[in-house]
Amino acid sequence: MPGVLSHSLFSNFDIHLFRSGKHYRLYEKLGSHPMKVDGVEGTYFAVWAPSANAVYVVGDFNHWQQDHKLNVRWDGSGIWEGFIPGTGKGTLYKYKIHSNNDGMVTEKADPFARSCEHPPRTASVVWEGDYTWKDEDWMETRETKNGLDCPHSVYEVHLGSWKRKSDNSFMTYKELADDLVNYVKEMNFTHVEFMPIMEYPYDPSWGYQLTGYFAPTSRFGSPEDFKLLVDKLHQNGIGVILDWVPSHFPEDAHGLGMFDGSHLFEHPDKRRGYHPDWKSLIFNYGRNEVRAFLISNALFWLDQFHADALRVDAVASMLYLDYSREEGEWEPNIYGNNENLEAISFVRELNEAVYLNFNGVQMIAEESTSFSMVSRPVSIGGLGFGMKWMMGWMNDTLEYFKNDPIHRRHHQNDITFSMTYTFTENFMLPFSHDEVVYGKQSLLYRMPGDEWQRFANLRLLYGYMFTHPGAKLLFMGAEFGQSSEWNFQASLDWHLLQYDVHSGIQKLVKDLNTLYRNHPALYEKQFTDEGFQWIDYGDHENSVLTFIRKGVNKKDDLIIACNFTPILRLNYRVGIEKTGKLKEIFNTDDQKYGGSGSTNNKALKVESIPWHGNKKSMELDIPPLGVVILK
């Protein structure tokens, strides 16, 4: 066919690694790569399509006609490749694949495309980026800011609805590199987590149904524009976490499903290859080339876009064969149980590859079951993640707060139960987007009582969250008490900040972030029981909790008292081991946060009165629906 020259980026060793599932840099080989061959400018194309008997590159350069047929490699790898002169950055293209499976013909976007057309258009775009990073200081020192003994206060963001322009159009990556970065820095969050920014066709999926795994969505600009956003965050000392979805993908005609007329990426057995809840396809984790595709994709975002962490979506759906399935809709593994052994093996290999290849990064599991050792090393039988979302804490806490305070004395065990398992994993405490959609209401309106009590409860919730062991995550809008549910089609309700009660919540979260970052007792040992000690968890009649958070140095210890009722607890006695005086360093009831101002303004004297099993004690006032922190 005219215009296709023989050329290859693959060595025999590359092919060996690919077929064995160990090639973790496939994005350097597969896909479209502008280059010069024998002095001629053009693009090298390579695609994996083992069930094809012909693969054509069709695009705007050949009027979408079958004029450029790729060459199949001789080695049985199923890779088709070739060099097409006269194409380059900006060329639109797809692969037209003639299958040897009943003559099926598919027209597919490139799984490795670095850029895609703006949805609803579906073509891939040849791309060659030119970006000079300026985040050397962050990259060289991020191990000291992104480790498990560092503060992680994460601001979860959906780029399409954080803030929009006056005509309701999207802000661009470049605009967000100013507005969003300045805001996150002002609010003292340590990290931003972006809901999926990989290309996706359908806005209501929020990005969790991907078709362009290697392309930042074109909704907000170019790949280099997204690099600028990451770069600016790093230059301001803010880490970047990307949501990543290896659990499923949509059935869109241009996507990965039935790619070459066969079940190439998805498992061929519908019991393992189709997700009934999301009506999407599930990757075949037992196929070596698919594992290499996914691990290469994870490494791609860490390598090419300097991501500091990946939050892996829907891990539970990967681990269990019977996830969201009725009896008869799934088949047990070879041992007769419900664990997906191939997926478990893949997850372990993924995490090992990430931590081996990059320093100072984290892998975070959104995993909602009691699967053991999710955040423990593979070497001791764990899945190898760095952290896991603490879904149980989130559910139990919101259920507890839903109770009218007068009834909370009957539910003390619900609010203390998390401490029985907090240190079994490295937990992140999430109030994510999932908690403010589908009729659940905003966090503010999940709080009981009149307006004052709603806001006081929200301040109490955040104070309790930031003093509870574990990393923290808040979805955008929660930091100023957004009153309505999240709407992905519109901006957050920024106008609420004109009201003192909402600006007070915002000040509270900003100061809690500062407190968390500045007090080692809240983060140095946040994943070990050495960093926590109950003083008293049994005062259910008053619905009061008292405990100690501990750092490496005893002088950093903090004493926390939480009052889950609207009754001011005057002269409440707390047993402690310390001598001398204690000072209140934080109070969620401070008037600047919209509280009633029930604070402990004077130093608190420790007395030789035994209490709570300690030889000494002191008295303090615990504000209504408030948290007091002493040092």
Name the β-bridge partners of 164.
170
CB 566 within 8 A of CB 624: yes
Q: How far apart are CA 184 and CA 179, in angstroms?
A: 9
Length of the chain in terms of residues written = 631
* 220, 274, 538 from 123: Cα distances, Å: 17, 25, 62
Helices and strands (DSSP H and E) totals, the chain: 12, 30
Q: What's phi and psi for 387, nearest 5 deg?
A: -145, 165
- Which one, of 241, 237, 145, 273, lies nearest residue 473 by Cα? 241
Residue linked to tokens 């009981």: 448
Q: How far apart are CA 22 and CA 147, in angstroms?
A: 27
CB 128 within 8 A of CB 41: no
Name the β-bridge partners of 549.
532, 558
Q: What angle do CA 104, 285, 288 make, to 5 degrees?
A: 80
Q: What is the Cα 255 distance to its own chain's centre? A: 23
Burial of 25 (C-beta count, 10 Å sphere; 0-12/13-18/19+): middle
* Largest pairwise CA distance in the chain: 93
Q: How far apart are CA 317 and CA 272, in angstroms?
A: 10
Q: How far apart are CA 126 and CA 264, in angstroms?
A: 23
* 455, 504, 577, 625 from 449: Cα distances, Å: 9, 18, 37, 11
> In the structure encoding, which two tokens stand for residue 501, read together?
């009660």
Residue linked to tokens 């047990």: 332
Active site residues: 313, 366
Q: How far apart are CA 351 and CA 296, in angstroms?
A: 12
Q: How far apart are CA 431 and CA 443, in angstroms?
A: 9
Q: How far apart are CA 262 and CA 78, in angstroms?
A: 12
Torsion of CA 270, 119, 316, 357, to 10 degrees: 110
Q: How far apart are CA 622 and CA 617, in angstroms?
A: 15
- Which one, of 116, 52, 36, lies nearest residue 84 by Cα? 36
CB 536 within 8 A of CB 575: yes
**Whether the bond into 34 is cis, omega within 30 of 0:** no
- Which one, of 216, 138, 229, lies nearest residue 184 by Cα? 229
Q: How far apart are CA 53 and CA 78, in angstroms?
A: 10
Q: How far apart are CA 480 and CA 505, in angstroms?
A: 5
CB 572 within 8 A of CB 621: yes
- Beta-carbon count within 10 A of 541 CB: 9
